[in-house]
Structure 1
Amino acid sequence: MHLRTQNWHEPVTLTEWLKRICSVLNLAILSVTCIIVVSEFRFDWCERLVGNYLSLSNDARPENGAVWDAGRHMVSALKSLDQMALARENAGRIVRTAKSFSDLAAQLGPGEWANLDKDRFRVLYLSLPLYLRRNVMDPVRLVWLLNGGATDRIVCEGRMGGMKIFFIDTQNRVVQQVDLDVQTLGNNGSRAVIPGTLDNAPEFFGRIYPASLFFTAVSRLPGDMRVDLILDTEDLLSEKGALDRVGVSNSAQDGFINLGFEFRHLGESRVVRVKAREWAVWQLTLVLKGES
């Protein structure tokens, strides 16, 4: 019996090489490999399979590595940009809707910034009563800052109880800084009305005069003193009713003294309080004492 032995050593002839290459096993492996490669290019099943696996196991994998760090940094940067854009838009809205400096200071939180253009600053400044404008800034200095080319932009910063206003030139230098306090601005030009009569206001006690006597004394003052007595009469002119009495405050503050004008309208009394120049009020008081 003759058994055919298989030659397992390295083939030495080309025929032997071809026989081994074209064996059934090799051809089957090659065919399966080609089918897998072609189907992958055609249907992308391998990417889908890997993607589904990664998607299912995504929650269980730790978020480590440069890709995750870059993603977190990008998300953080986008959130910061959104917050900055929202803060800037909100600050612009506050500036546009503010009716006065005190209103603007009340809406700006501590450390919040807002750009205030020159025209808007003029509107807010001119909305102040005349006696408060000098508390903000010297008018002559302000004319130079707004119209003399010394200021490129105006920036305001909120703080507790007020705000700061910075006038900045083209070289980004602060040429003027104004610190506004809400209490100093008072009601910022809104009408100071006290329900009731002058008798209910302790500051006018002992210095209440009939309206006719008060204005008779005012008429005896020199013309320039009458003009400087009450700088802003808008609140008085806009009040309805008959003027009954006038009270003079017993104390002065920042060069001004409060005057209270008592009006009667439809059976009700109310006192409108305005500020007057201290030195003019003292002269008026001397005349009132002589009249009474």
Structure 2
Amino acid sequence: MHLRTQNWHEPVTLTEWLKRICSVLNLAILSVTCIIVVSEFRFDWCERLVGHYLSFTNDARPENGAVWDAGRHMVSALKSLDQMALARENAGRIVRTAKSFSDLAAQLGPGEWANLDKDRFRVLYLSLPLYLRRNVMDPVRLVWLLNGGATDRIFCEGRMGGMKIFFIDTQNRVIEQLDLDVQTLGNNGSQAVIPGTLDNEHEFFGRIYPASLFFTAVSRLPGDMRVDLILDTEDLLSEKGALDRVGVSNSAQDGFINLGFEFRHLGESRVVRVKAREWAVWQLTLVLKGES
């Protein structure tokens, strides 16, 4: 006789299986589970709870991982974009407000770029004295670059003591480059009006001549040499009073020599210092020595 071992809690028939499956406890658990799942899909309450928990504990968690790295990169990129936009706006303001090439070069920092349109370049170029325009660029070449359709854009870059100007064509190639020095651009004819007489200026010591003797010697020079001797007469013509004496500097700088013109007006003396080309001054000096 064989006996089959059976647990006391194991159902024997199919009816008992069904009764146990469809018990009140099982149906309640199934109903609650369905309600939780459906409400989650409908209201996303589980995600909201997790989100609130993470937000509440955010300050206590270490700032590491891919999410934090991505956030830092985004913040850094936004700051860089803001700095680039601010630098571009500042460079544009400098170009608009600059009164001359020397003013523009002085305001642009080393390595700082600015877009210089053709009309603005013309204004700054025409503000230069005639003799400096030829030094900056050959006028014929400049006419072709600005009016011949060869130039698409003009950029300027600041550097120590000056700036560079690049002429770019439609294929983004540099077709002309200028390297301008602030000191050279500053040689724009009249440099200073100084109260007092030529005797107070050491650079003119021993080379001070009566105005009549000076201009008599100037009249003996060829016409093209006289043009280079007194490059800009605007400040001299606007000065009031009688011209008494003229001094010639003892030193040259960048191909120029200072001339000092002493004016007397209402009992006061003023010296107007102007630039003259070195080679023309040496020729004038030879004539002055012959006249003395």
SS in structure 1 opposite 2:216? Answer: helix
Q: Show CA shifts across 1:195-251 (max 9, x none).
A: 322112222112212223333443444444433432221222233443322112233
Task: Give the whole-Å Cα distance in 1 for the aligned partners of 2:274 and 2:157.
Answer: 30
Q: Whole-Å Cα distance in 2 between the matches of residues 220 and 87 of structure 1?
A: 55
Q: What fraction of aligned residue pairs are identical, expressed as a percent?
A: 97
Are the structure 2 counterparts of residues 283 and 69 from structure 1 closer, same or farther at C-alpha, using a change threshold of 3 Å? closer
Deviation at 1:9, TM superposition (A): 6.0
Please report how far the alpha carbon of residue 291 of structure 1 lies from its aligned counterpart in structure 2 after TM superposition: 4.4
TM (norm. structure 1) is 0.83
Deviates more, 1:165-174 or 1:31-40: 31-40
Q: Is the 8 A contact 1:214 1:246 kept in 2?
A: yes
Q: Secondary structure at the match of 1:251?
A: strand
Distance of 2:16 and 2:152 partners within structure 1 = 92
Change (3 A) 1:227 1:188: closer
Distance 1:35 1:265, change over 3 A: farther
The farther-off stretch of 45-54 and 110-119 is 45-54
Quick check: 175-184 or 261-270, which moved more? 261-270
Give the alignment's Cα RMSD to 1 decimal. 4.0
How big is each residue's C-alpha offset from its partner over 1:75-116, in whole Å with a ceiling of 9 and x where there is no partner?
222222222222111111111111222221221111111122
Kept in 1, the 8 Å contact 2:190–2:232? The answer is no
**Do the aligned partners of residues 234 and 283 (structure 1) sit closer, same or farther apart at CA in structure 2, a change above 3 Å counting?**
same
Whether the 8 Å contact between 1:151 and 1:167 is mirrored in structure 2 is yes
Taking a change above 3 Å as real, the CA distance of residues 128 and 149 of structure 1, as seen in their structure-2 partners, is same
Q: Residues 239-270 of structure 1: CA distance to partner in whole angstroms, max 9, x if unpaired?
A: 34433221122334444332111223454432
Give me the TM-score of the superposition, normalised by structure 2. Answer: 0.83
Instruction: Report if aligned partners of 1:214, 1:288 keep a CA contact under 8 Å in 2.
Output: yes
Per-residue deviation, 1:41: 5.6
Q: Structure 2: give runs of 5+ residues left out of the alignment.
A: none
Structure 1 residues 6 and 267: CA distance shift in structure 2, 3 A:
farther
Contact residue 259 and residue 276 of structure 2 kept, 8 A: yes
Q: C-alpha offsets along residues 134-153 of structure 1, whole Å, 9 cap, x if unaligned? A: 33233333333333333322
- C-alpha change, 1:121 and 1:40, in structure 2 (3 Å) is same
CA gap 1:190/1:28 in 2 versus in 1, 3 angstroms: farther
State the Cα distance separating 1:54 from its structure 2 match: 0.5
CA contact under 8 A between 2:184 and 2:254: conserved in structure 1?
no
Q: Deviations over 1:9-64 (max 9, x none)?
A: 66576643442233221233234334544555666543332222111211222333
Q: Are the equivalent residues in 1 in contact too, given 2:241–2:265 (CA < 8 A)?
A: yes
Moved more, 208-217 or 229-238: 208-217
The answer to whether the 8 Å contact 2:102/2:185 transfers is yes
Distance 1:105 1:146, change over 3 A: same
Alpha carbons of structure 1 residues 116 and 189: separation in structure 2 relative to 1, 3 Å: farther
When structure 1 is superposed on structure 2, of 270-279 and 79-88 the one drifting more is: 270-279
8 Å CA contact 2:94, 2:107 repeated in 1: yes
CA deviations 1:127-172 (Å, max 9, x no partner) are: 2223333332333333333333333222222122222222222222
Distance in 2 of aligned mates of 1:183 and 1:289: 31
**Structure 1 residues 188 and 13, CA, compared in 2 at 3 Å: closer, same or farther?**
farther
Contact 1:218-1:226 within 8 A present in 2 as well: yes
Higher mean C-alpha displacement, 61-70 vs 117-126? 61-70
Identify which range, 106-115 or 161-170, moves more after superposition: 161-170
Answer yes or no: is the 8 Å Cα contact 2:189–2:274 preserved in 1.
Answer: no
Query: Does the 8 Å CA contact 1:102/1:187 hold for their aligned counterparts?
Result: no
- 8 Å Cα contact 1:102/1:182 also seen in 2: yes
Range moving further from structure 2, 53-62 or 12-21:
12-21
**CA distance change for structure 1 residues 150 and 8 in 2, over 3 Å: closer, same or farther?**
farther
Mapped contact 1:258–1:276 kept (Cα < 8 A): yes
Between stretches 198-207 and 180-189, larger displacement belongs to 180-189
d(CA) in 1 for partners of 2:245, 2:12: 133
5+ long unaligned stretches in structure 1: none
Q: Which deviates more, 250-259 or 45-54?
A: 250-259
**CA drift at 1:178:** 2.0
Secondary structure in structure 2 of the residue aligned to 1:59: coil
